[in-house]
Amino acid sequence: MFEFHGWATIHADDSDDPAGDLMEDRERGIMAAVRDAIRRVEGANRDFRLNRLNGTAHLIFCGDHNHRDEAIIEFFKRLSKIAPHSYGKLHVRDDEDARGFENSMREWTMALGQVTESTDAQMSPCVPALEPEYNEANKPS
């Protein structure tokens, strides 16, 4: 199982544009690049929502697969390059993680154009934090 949940607040760089004269064009370019990145990873058992709320772009995405899909993690990293002034989180539960994290909720954090990976301490270990440990005493009848 490979379950993922992510979000990002998409921002353009306005540090060299105090009057805001270039922002509309920059934002339009970033939104086009984000939509293109989404098109490259869209597929079955995935959902992507890109919306503007109060003038700010927000992306929410999730999915559930039978096996690891590295394309989702690469997609999140790509967002940090497309819009380095954006921020967000990606949570992944991968029960086939070959690195020894099969009982952990992994978390990728995007900020300042960088993506870092860690274990979500509040949701790990997944058993028993997210679901009960299976044993004869709690075996379903």
pLDDT tens digits along 9-24: 999 887 777 776 777 8
Average pLDDT over residues 113-130: 94
Mean pLDDT, the chain, integer? 92
Amino acid at 71: A
pLDDT band for 47, please (50, 70, 90 cuts): very high
What is the per-residue pLDDT for 136?
A: 62
The pTM (predicted TM-score) of the whole model is: 0.89
Backbone angles phi, psi at 74, to 5 degrees: -65, -35
How are strands ordered across the β-sheet holding 56-65? 46-53, 56-65, 2-10, 87-94, 105-111, 114-119
pLDDT class of 103 with cuts at 50, 70, 90: very high
Alpha-carbon dihedral angle through residues 75, 81, 85, 91, given to the nearest 10 degrees = 30
Angle of the 23-41 helix axis to the 70-82 helix axis, nearest 10: 170
| pLDDT band (50, 70, 90) for residue 30 | very high
Q: What is the structure's pLDDT at 14?
A: 77
Which amino acid is present at 13?
Answer: D
